[in-house]
């Protein structure tokens, strides 16, 4: 019925060659095609940010992109951010600061923050708040998320200095 396109995605360092319809979103492809369900879908409208992943280092809303547009790209999802044995400073900070309750928005916030901090490691509070305002969380009331990202940014900065 619909034409399939063969694409290659490098997700968390692993190559996936997939045949997808042109209309299939990157979010669905990561979840169903690559079997990585940590990337969540909260609105499919580009508003909530639950689906945020890094595409060639840039935080992107995977529900707004078609998989074919990401052909050849390197993608990092929450599964590739850190492992249970070696958590990323952001993951540590989210736990330590109680920045998650149900955890549904968490992968999106983690990836958004990872992208923001990679580009602007010494981002100030106002700019950070502004950047994090693009994702929605319904459980935490945000205060703890802000605190966690701030703490992670500081921890990452300290590590670099040493």
Partner 1 sequence: MARARTPQIGGRFERIEDPPLVTGRGRFAADISFPHQLHVRIVRSAHAHGIIRAIDKAAALAHPGVFALWTADDIPEVPPIDFREGRIERLEAYRQPVLARGRVRYVGEPIAAVFADDAYVAEDAAELVMVDIEELPPILDACDPPGEWEPGRSTEPGVLTQGYGDMDEALAAADQVIELDLQIGRHSGVPMETRGAIARYDAATDTLELYGAAKIPHRNRDALARTFGRAPSSVQLYEGHTGGGFGIRGELYPEDLLVSAAAMRFERPVKWIEDRHEHLMTANQSRQQRHRAKIAVKADGTILGIDDEFFHDQGAYPRTHAMRVVDMTLGILPGPYRVPAYRVAGHYRLTNKTPAATYRSPGRYESSFVRERLVDAVADRLGLDRLAVRRKNLISAAEMPYLRPLIVLGEDAEFDSGDYHGLLDRALEHIGWDALQADLRRRREAGEAVGAGIAIFVEKSGAGPADGARVSVDSTGAVEVVTGGASIGQGFETAMAQICADALGVDYKRVRVVHGQTDRIAYGIGAHASRATVMTGNATHIAALAVRRKALEVAAELLQAPIEALDVVDGEVVRTDRPAGGSIALGAIAASLHPNAKTLGAREPGLAADGWHRTEHLACPYGIHIAVVGVDRETGAVTVEKFLIAYDVGRAVNPMMVEGQIVGGFMQGLGGALYEEFVYDERGQPQSVTFADYLMPTMSEAPEIEIILREDCPSPRNPLGIKGAGEAGINSVGAVIASAIDVAIGMPGAVTQLPVSPQRLKAIFDRGR
Which regions of the chain does DSSP assign to beta strands (E)? 4-11, 14-21, 52-55, 58-61, 74-76
Judge whether 56 and 74 are in contact, CB under 8 Å.
yes
Residue in 19, 43, 118, 157 binding partner 1, rule: CB under 8 A: 43
Three-state secondary-structure class, residue 67: helix
Closest CA to 52 of 3, 106, 2, 124: 106
Smallest gap, in angstroms, from Cβ of residue 161 to ligand FES?
Answer: 32
- Work out which of 10, 74, 136, 155 binds partner 1, going by CB under 8 A: 136
Query: Residue 14: beta bridge partners?
Result: 11
64 contributes a contact to partner 1 by CB under 8 A = no
Q: Per CB under 6 A, which of residues 102..141 are in contact with ligand FES? A: 102-105, 137-140
Residue ranges that bind partner 1, judged by CB under 8 A: 1, 21, 23-24, 31, 36-45, 47-48, 50, 77-79, 81-84, 87, 91, 94-96, 98, 100-107, 110, 129-130, 132-146
């Amino acid at each position: 019925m619909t034409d399939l396109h063969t694409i290659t995605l490098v997700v968390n360092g692993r190559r996936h060659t997939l045949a997808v319809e042109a209309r299939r979103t990157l979010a669905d492809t990561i979840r169903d095609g690559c079997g990585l369900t940590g990337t969540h879908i909260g609105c499919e409208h580009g508003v909530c940010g639950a689906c945020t992943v890094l595409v060639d280092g840039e935080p992107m809303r995977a529900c707004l992109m078609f998989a074919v547009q990401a052909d050849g790209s390197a993608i990092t999802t929450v599964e590739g951010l850190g492992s249970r044995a070696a958590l990323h400073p952001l993951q540590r900070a989210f736990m330590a600061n109680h920045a998650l309750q149900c955890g549904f928005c968490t992968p999106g916030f983690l990836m958004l923050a990872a992208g923001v901090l990679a580009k602007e490691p010494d981002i100030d509070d106002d700019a950070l708040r502004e950047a994090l305002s693009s994702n929605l969380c319904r459980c935490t009331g945000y205060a703890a998320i802000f605190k966690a990202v701030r703490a992670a940014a500081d921890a990452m900065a300290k590590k670099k200095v040493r």
